[in-house]
Amino acid sequence: MNYPTWSDLNNESIVPPLGARRAPDIGPVAVLVSTEPDIRYLRATLPKLKTQGFFMGSLMTPETGPRGTAQCEAGMIDPQVSKGFSIAGPYIGASYGVMLLESLIARGARDIIVLGWCGAVTPGLSCGDLIIPDHAIVDEGTSCSYKVLDTDLPCSRPDKNLSDRFSDLLTGQGVKFFRHPIWTTDAIYRETSQKVAWFREKGAHAVEMECSALFAAAEYRKVNITALLVVSDSLASGSGDWNPGFRKKTFKAARKSACKSVMSFVGKLL
């Protein structure tokens, strides 16, 4: 028997998020990075970031120069942008992702960009393609603690205005991307052929492990969130084969492009 979380959404949690008490404000814009390789890339290309431990990962914020401006390089963010953003991760899974999100919100984040990878479940997507999710079909256990879910097809959505602004920036940069529904699962090793086909029929184009919960939590906390996902592999083969693309040059190039686009958007938001 499960506790009816939908009946308890107006009640405060006994345990406050990390940072709700006495933690310094990190600024209004935060980037949630799901993978360690992308964290490493951002750390290497934005060398003037101050890094501290954050759960099992890192929280990076700009160091400030003599005039209080962020000293970030590599052309990804204007060096004169004031301090006011953070980068956190890596993380895996809906519940852990939401723990990080809650803590970033408690420290002042109000516009959040999720940067992650996903697997294609339709043949129309290839390794290295970029997706801004239109909505996420809930197949995980965290969202129900933040949102009353539709019993027929539970979904959560990113902030439309923030997603539209991000889309406009990518279009202006000449970056090709898709806006598609996705599917969020808790069980990466239970993505069966039957399940993939079912979610594809419901409109999903890709699968990952966090977005539906992050979108639900952000809506509950009344903050803005969007996401950019890089297609890293495919489950769309009619034969039921898995086609990984993690070592392909197209994927590695797309990852770097996604990192640069996200940080360009951070600069616009600031």
Q: Which domain holds residue 198?
A: 22-269
Portion of the chain with pLDDT greater than 90, in percent: 82
Q: What is the pLDDT of residue 1?
A: 61
Does 46 fall in a domain?
yes
Q: What is the 8-class DSSP label of residue 46? A: S
Angle at the Cα of 192 (from 189 to 144), degrees rounded to 5?
70
> Which has the closest alpha carbon to 104: 217, 186, 191, 227?
217
Task: With beta carbons less than 8 A apart as the criterion, state whether 156 and 219 touch.
Answer: yes
Q: Does 9 map to a domain?
A: no
CATH number at residue 128: 3.40.50.1580
Q: Is residue 13 situated within a structural domain?
A: no
- The DSSP result for 137-176, as a single string, is EEESSSGGGTSPPPSSS-EE---HHHHHHHHHHHHHHT--
Q: Which segment of 97-111, 212-226, 233-247 scores lowest on mean pLDDT?
A: 233-247
Q: What is the pTM of this model?
A: 0.93
Query: How, if at all, do strands 206-208 and 182-185 pair?
Result: parallel
Residue 17 covered by a domain: no
Residue 10 forms part of a structural domain = no
Q: Which residues contact 242 (CB under 8 A, 6 or more apart)?
A: 233, 234, 235
Instruction: Return the amino acid letter for 246.
Output: F
Report if residue 1 sits inside a domain. Answer: no
Report how far apart, in Å, the C-alpha atoms of 111 and of each of 85, 114, 225 are: 9, 10, 6
Helix, strand, coil shares, percent, the chain, to 5: 35, 25, 45
pLDDT in tens, 72-113: 444 555 544 557 999 999 999 999 999 999 999 999 999 999
Span 24-77, pLDDT tens digits: 789 999 999 999 999 999 999 987 889 999 999 999 999 864 433 444 444 555
CA distance 168 to 244: 30
Q: Which of 204, 184, 206, 221 is nearest to 12 (CA)?
A: 221
Whether 34 maps to a domain, the answer reads yes
Please tell me the total count of domains within the chain.
1
In this structure, the number of other CB atoms found within 10 A of the CB of residue 13 comes to: 10
Is 119 a residue whose pLDDT tops 60?
A: yes
pLDDT at 78: 53
Task: With respect to residue 11, please indicate whether it lies within any of the assigned structural domains.
Answer: no
| Cβ(26)–Cβ(81) below 8 Å | no
